[in-house]
Amino acid sequence: MILLPAVLSLLLGTLLVGILAKLAVRLVRHHRLAWRHAFAYGALVTVAGLAGVLLRFFSGIVLPSALGAAIAFAFHALMGGWFLGRHVQERDGRRTPFLRGAFLGVLIFVLVLAVGFAFGGLLALVDLQQGPAATLKGI
């Protein structure tokens, strides 16, 4: 039962990144990406992100926020170039070049950030409307 939140967060992360991968490919016209490849990309990114969090937790390494963001940006660009470059097809059936896949990876990263900031803002609004006493109920 204690593993349920961890498994649920992995599944939701995979689902979110997969849906945003399809959206990013849709935003960049003249490209196609199968749902299975979108969710495979989501699973790769989610598991790699979890591995990074576990590495930092168990090693005790503390990174500055700017360096962490730069590493995440580079990771998404490289993962997008490698994975999406193989699986995203242009309209004529050709594989997408590495640089376009890297661009898609960065676009997915930006979309994930936007969704994260939007949910964070919504949670802050809900928290403000309920008042400070509502946040102390769980303590």
The predicted-structure confidence for 59-108, as pLDDT tens digits, reads as follows: 988 888 899 889 999 999 999 999 999 999 988 888 989 999 999 999 99
Domain contains 34: yes
Number of domains in the chain: 1
Domain residues for the domain of 31 are 4-132
> Mean pLDDT of all residues in the chain?
87
- Rounded mean pLDDT of 30-42? 92
Domain contains 137: no
pLDDT over threshold 80, residue 133: no
pLDDT over threshold 80, residue 38: yes
Q: Which two tokens stand for residue 43?
A: 């699973």
The predicted-structure confidence for 43-55, as pLDDT tens digits, reads as follows: 999 999 889 888 8
Domain contains 10: yes
